[in-house]
Amino acid sequence: MAQRTTLLAVTSAQLAAQAAGHVVALRRRRYFDVPFMTGSPEHLVRDWLWFGTAYSAPPYLLGLEVWALGRLLRGPDDRARWVLRWLGTGLTLGYLSERCSRVRVRPGGLDPVETPVVVVGWGCAAALAVLARR
């Protein structure tokens, strides 16, 4: 029971970081920039629908996370745990591949608004990958 409660709290914190990351990315025009593709500031909202922003995942991944959170709120659920484990793994790799995220956690790249969003989102994503295991 304690592990389910912790998983619920981490999932909620990760979703809050995603929401904050989306707002920050829209206001500061931070488009996605990964090694194999790059978005554009002119098409930030359109790109978010398919690829996410520099600090938030696309809506279809967030929808899966909300769905899994809802299932876990009702009780223990192996399918929801499986979804959260894979989402956490994917999001962890996504933060790692995102150029803006890597810049914000390096010395000299710290920003009072963006760095906490990245650290909480990335940390919670990694925690999801670990906590959602059976």
Residue 106 is encoded by which pair of tokens? 């390096």
pLDDT tens, 55-106?
999 999 999 999 999 999 999 999 999 999 999 999 999 999 999 999 999 9
Are 100 and 54 in contact, with CB atoms under 8 Å apart? yes
2 falls in which pLDDT band (50, 70, 90)?
Answer: low
- Cα angle, residue 24 at apex, residues 23 and 25 outer, rounded to 5°: 90
State pTM to two decimals.
0.92
- If one counts the domains in the chain, the total is 1
Range of the domain at 121: 2-131
Cα separation of 76 and 62, whole Å? 20
User: For position 22, what pLDDT does the model report?
Assistant: 95
Are 115 and 104 in contact, with CB atoms under 8 Å apart? yes
Residue among 65, 61, 9, 58 nearest 34 (CA): 58
